[in-house]
Structure 1
Amino acid sequence: MKRIAALLAAIALVGTARAETLKDICGDCTFEKYASCGEFLEGINFDKQGHAWAVGLMSGAIIEVVDGKCGVRAKTGGKPNGARFHADGRLFVTDQQRGVLTFDPRTNAITIFADKIDGKPMVNANDLVFDDKGGLYVTVPGTSSYLDHSGQLIYFAPGSSSAKVVADKLPYPNGVAIEADSQFVNVGLYGDKTIVTIPSATNPGTPRTAYAAVRTEGGIGPDGMARDSEGRIYWANFFSGAIGVTDTRGFVLGYAKLPDDAGRFTTNLAFYKGYLYLTEASKGEIWRVKVSTTGQALYYQP
């Protein structure tokens, strides 16, 4: 009964949410170029010094961006696809060929955190997000697609490098975000133009089951994702040169588009100090747009 009462209370709050438009968030949503790295960029993050970090999928590079200038700090020896900072300062990296890695910016050391799921090789690890206790969610599309629903969402409990499968039979799970209370996980299904909401590994008894939260438009499908402090979902809409945004009730507000001469391979995004930053992979550029909101508090807060 308590769970049902909490669910009804949440629905009531959603029902009183004010009307919103994309203009409320980013005005005319004009992007400015922040950096040109010349890499197939993914996994943008910020550290406590205000430096941006990203990875180069094709080159294996771990890239630090200082004052708009890109420098390669290390190579993973594989194909890094996503990155998130841990609270201890290490950068966790998903690598298509090597699984989940850690990179220590203080020593440049790279180690394998995990490369197997139930004793089998982890194939095409894609993106990742930490919950509020330091547990780690990773999307693993493997060879999945619109026609092949074999992708997985896995979870590593705090302090553990053993993967637990949270959801499977997914059509190319790609970007991943988590609700502020860590009770539900948002997963972008790149192979189905859908963002689904799934009960987290730490919320097994909830009456709120997995459901399709957002249907995306344009491009191929949702890539990297983020949430703001008010609960909106943002996603890089790959092959459309745009970011999609929902309101706090889950309705799609619209798409903030890069300039016409920018590339269309929009891959990942991150909030930092009044801006939303976006990686575009075909030209290896980082763009940003001024926003009126802040990003959701992260396990690692820059």
Structure 2
Amino acid sequence: MTAHRTPHPGPALAILALGGLLALTGCGTQAAATTAASASRPEPSGEGRTIRATQIAHVTDPHEATGRTLLEGPVLAEDGDLYVVDVTAPAGEPKVLSVDLATGKSEGVYTDRTGAYTSAQISPYDGRLYLTDYTGSIVSIEPDGSDPRTFFSGEVDGSATNLDDIAFDDEGNLYVSDLHGMKPGEAKGRIVRIDRDGEKSTVLADGLAHPNGVMFDPKLHGLWISELAENTVSYLLLDADKTAVTSQHEAIHVDAGVAQTDSIAVDADGNLYQALHGRPAMAVYSPNGERLATVEIPANAAKGLESATNVAITPGGKKAYMTVSGPDGGYVFRFTALAEGIRQSNGG
């Protein structure tokens, strides 16, 4: 593998973007989390059964320059390695890393001077690794870190973007959550569709309270999205061309206490794996909204960890790999999923 490729010179924007990244990781958003609508929602029935996760890799430590580390976007490549991004990695330190799941060892694959990468996903169209940049662009690289390209950059409908998670349809078009400034008390977030050539962008939904997770259901009929500031999961039914939303409704209210809804993955049975920022755990729901389980890490490990951001479930298998971070560093934990993984279970 090629380590630490730097595609272009320029000032380090990761540090400049840290204020926005603090918001991205949940700081200062609680004021928007309770509304009259949320207060009237019925209480959920419980947390389901407990699924225990086991640590398999210690990947990163907090960076001196940024004071933190935050792993995101786990995605399994064809070679069996797990790829993760470190959202707060400064210029020159690895921003994309590969983890050998057999040994737990990791190595840097890619870095640059400007990106603050919040997710990773492999395109079904060209097999490249796509990275969302919180500062407003999408970069694609080869799995070995070579050939970096700016796939998309700039405004959408005249407004700057703060891009977070990605979902792909089978043709390689992208569906991206746009936090869009993420100021407390504001609901200006969007879900944006970007054609696979990067030339056309369309706002599918707006007025969202800091949208984070975005993922298709198994049949690719619609998108599950999570709103960080409302602790809700909504379902967006799409038209046949997947270029417009035909209906939208709130499907699940996540009872998470001080934690907030982060990324989403979906298994072959349509179960939703909702990552939690502010608690190193994941909530698992059926597609009908029933709380089936909670993925937990051991209590002694949880003391130094704050958030579980995302999961990758092995396509065709049930081994699941969850990224967890906090003051003790960035880790990968493994657990057994409720059903087999599919493409929608792998990264985002």
Which bracket does the TM-score occupy, shorter chain normalised?
0.7 to 0.9
**TM norm structure 2:** 0.73
Aligned residue for 2:51, secondary structure, equals: coil
- Give identity over the alignment, percent: 21
- Residues 194-228 of structure 1: per-residue CA shift (max 9 Å, x gap): 01111236356886x20011111224321111001
Q: Which residue pairs with 1:279 in the alignment?
A: 323
Q: Distance in 2 between matches of 1:112 and 1:122?
A: 16
Residue among 311, 334, 347 paired with 1:288: 334
Q: Distance in 1 between matches of 2:298 and 2:106?
A: 22
Q: Distance in 1 between matches of 2:293 and 2:203?
A: 33
- Residues 74-105 of structure 1: per-residue CA shift (max 9 Å, x gap): 11432100110012221000011241111112
Which of the two has greater strand per residue? 1
Matched residue type, 1:266: A
Q: Which residue pairs with 1:53 in the alignment?
A: 83
Unpaired runs of at least 5, structure 1:
1-20
Deviation at 1:250, TM superposition (A): 1.9
Q: Which residue pairs with 1:267 in the alignment?
A: 309
Q: Which residue pairs with 2:210 in the alignment?
A: 172
Q: Which residue pairs with 1:84 in the alignment?
A: 121
Q: Distance in 2 between matches of 1:122 and 1:55?
A: 23
Greater displacement, 28-37 / 226-235? 28-37
8 A Cα contact 1:231 1:296, kept in partner = no
Matched residue type, 1:243: M
**TM norm structure 1:** 0.84
Deviation at 1:254, TM superposition (A): 3.7
Q: Which residue pairs with 1:236 in the alignment?
A: 275
Deviation at 1:276, TM superposition (A): 1.6
Unpaired runs of at least 5, structure 2:
1-46, 61-68
Q: Distance in 2 between matches of 1:107 and 1:118?
A: 28
Q: Distance in 1 between matches of 2:262 and 2:189?
A: 15
- Residues 169-191 of structure 1: per-residue CA shift (max 9 Å, x gap): 11100011101222211111001
8 A Cα contact 2:169 2:220, kept in partner = yes
Q: Which residue pairs with 2:59 in the alignment?
A: 37
Aligned residues: 276
Give the RMSD, CA atoms, in angstroms.
2.3
Residue among 228, 233, 248 paired with 1:195: 233
The 1:297/1:37 distance shift into structure 2, 3 A limit, reads closer
Q: Which residue pairs with 2:224 in the alignment?
A: 186
Aligned residue for 1:37, secondary structure, equals: strand
Greater displacement, 234-243 / 121-130? 121-130
The 1:136/1:203 distance shift into structure 2, 3 A limit, reads closer
Deviation at 1:275, TM superposition (A): 1.4
